[in-house]
A and B are shown apart, each in its own frame.
Chain A
Amino acid sequence: GAVVSQHPSWVICKSGTSVKIECRSLDFQATTMFWYRQFPKQSLMLMATSNEGSKATYEQGVEKDKFLINHASLTLSTLTVTSAHPEDSSFYICSSEGPMNTEAFFGQGTRLTVV
């Protein structure tokens, strides 16, 4: 199946700094990618839809200035957590529509810890 690679898998950063998470589709072009957030022992919550060449669409309650999404190419979307706070510590997962636009393929996830 299609492969989505997410990097880094784990990052620890200081409060106030920014962290960039990359999501790449390795063997197909992804015009649309999705970013999810998961708190411990909870389900995944959709944060935003990333569209290649245009602005991301954010779900209600997600701060677009805090979670900057860039989808500059058909194989790469990035999520930047700006001015991170401890409450931003979470598991972030990206996904992409597969080549047949039916199934979704998920990255391995990024565990962000803000200290």
Chain B
Amino acid sequence: SQQGEEDPQALSIQEGENATMNCSYKTSINNLQWYRQNSGRGLVHLILIRSNEREKHSGRLRVTLDTSKKSSSLLITASRAADTASYFCATDAKDTGNQFYFGTGTSLTVIP
């Protein structure tokens, strides 16, 4: 299976703290993307990082990519209660075009 893994599976923090989620994958990739999903809802695209990039920022989000370790991390700084959601990483393997394989997801709870 090309499905990646994320850890932790669940994370609970206080509002204002930083949240870090990790994603590992198995094959060489073109891009890695992070998505957010509120319970029972669709996916919201957060950030894309290309295989030749090592770090990317978007607002309170910081994503790193280590292709040698086949891993990525998503950091949410100064978390808010509204950040409570599940977060998934998705990779597209180099030889499969834009078929995305999702990690197992991290369920983040931010306590007000």
Binding site for B on A (CB under 8 A): 1, 6, 32, 34, 36, 41-46, 49, 91, 93, 95, 97, 101-109, 111
Q: A43-B3, A43-B105 are in contact. Are A104 and B42 (CB under 8 A)?
A: no
Query: Are B43 and A34 in touch, CB under 8 angstroms?
Result: no
Query: Are A34 and B99 in touch, CB under 8 angstroms?
Result: yes
Query: Are B43 and A103 in touch, CB under 8 angstroms?
Result: no
- B24 close to A (CB within 8 Å): no
Nearest A-chain residue to B100, judged by Cβ: A104
The total of chain B residues at the interface (CB under 8 A) is 25
- B85 close to A (CB within 8 Å): no
Query: Are A109 and B41 in touch, CB under 8 angstroms?
Result: yes
Instruction: Point out the residues of chain B lying under 8 angstroms from A109, CB to CB.
Output: 41-43
- Cα A96 to Cα B72 in complex, Å, equals 23
Q: A93-B43, A108-B42 are in contact. Are A44 and B30 (CB under 8 A)?
A: no
Query: Are A104 and B90 in touch, CB under 8 angstroms?
Result: yes
From DSSP, what is the main secondary structure of chain A's interface residues?
Answer: strand
Give chain B nearest CB distance to A42 CB in angstroms.
8
> Could you write out 23 A-B pairs with CB less than 8 Å apart?
A1-B45, A34-B100, A42-B104, A43-B88, A44-B88, A44-B90, A45-B3, A45-B102, A91-B40, A93-B42, A95-B98, A95-B100, A97-B97, A102-B48, A102-B50, A103-B45, A103-B48, A104-B98, A105-B45, A107-B42, A108-B42, A109-B41, A109-B43
Contacting residue for A44 out of B97, B102, B107, CB 8 A: B102
Contacting residue for A111 out of B3, B40, B99, B105, CB 8 A: B40
Query: Are B42 and A102 in touch, CB under 8 angstroms?
Result: no
Residues in B61-112 with C-beta less than 8 Å from chain A: 88, 90, 92, 97-105, 107
Give chain A nearest CB distance to B17 CB in angstroms.
24
- Cα A97 to Cα B99 in complex, Å, equals 9
Q: A106-B45, A107-B42, A108-B42 are in contact. Are A34 and B104 (CB under 8 A)?
A: no
Instruction: Point out the residues of chain A lying under 8 angstroms from B107, CB to CB.
Output: 41
Give chain B nearest CB distance to A88 CB in angstroms.
17
- Cα A97 to Cα B97 in complex, Å, equals 9
